[in-house]
Structure 1
C-alpha cells in the first residue's frame, strides 16, 4: 500500500503505477491526435445511464457510470461516439505475456462493459505489448 484515497480506500503500488502509466499514455494521445482532432477527442468522459430511456449520455453521475479512457466522437459532441479506447498496463510477468487474458477475457470484459455506449467499432483495449486489440 502506498496511500489512501480521500474516502479511505487503500492505494496499491500497482494502482499508483497504472495511474502514472495512464498519464503518460494520455499525454501521448493528446500530443499525437490533439492538434488535428481536439474537437473529436475526449479524455475519460463519464457516461451515465438515463433511467427513463436506458441510454447512456455524458453525465456527472458517479455511481454506475462508464468511464472509458479515450473517446473519439463527432465534432464537439461526445455523445456521438465513433471509437472507444481503454488502456491496460499489465504488471505481472504472466499478465504481460498475455495481456488480453485467458481466452481474451480482459478484452471481452472491456468490450462488454463499453458496448452500450455505441460507436462505429467494438471498443478497443490498448496494451503496450499488443497495441490496439478489438
Structure 2
C-alpha cells in the first residue's frame, strides 16, 4: 500500500474519455481503472497526449488520485478475461512505488472496454 492506496484492487469504475485543451490542458485521451469514485480504494489513470511535447513519452500513468506519476516505461500490458497485468521498466515502477509487474482485476464483461481503452492510451504495440 502506498499512501493509503492499495497495490491490488478490483476496478468497479472504469472507462475512458477524450481530453481537450480547454478542459484538461491537453488534447488526448484518459482511461481510468478505479475501485471507487475518489480513487482511495485503488486507481490507475492512463493519459495520452495526441501531440506530445516529448515524443518518447506520449503517455503517463497516475497511481491513486495523485499518489505518483510516471511518464512512459510500460513494457507490456496483457489484458485477459477480468484482469490486466502491467509490466513496467524498473525506474518507472519505482517512481510510482509499485512492483515492476502488477495486476488489476475487473468484471469479466468489461474486458474489451479495458483492452480498447489501454490500446488508445498506451498503443496497440504495447497492449496484448
With CA pairs under 8 Å and 6+ residues apart, which has the higher RCO, 1 or 2?
2
TM-score of the pair, normalised by structure 2: 0.30
Larger Rg: 1
User: Which has the larger share of strand?
Assistant: 2
Structure with the higher fraction of residues in helix conformation: 1
TM-score (norm: length of structure 1): 0.29
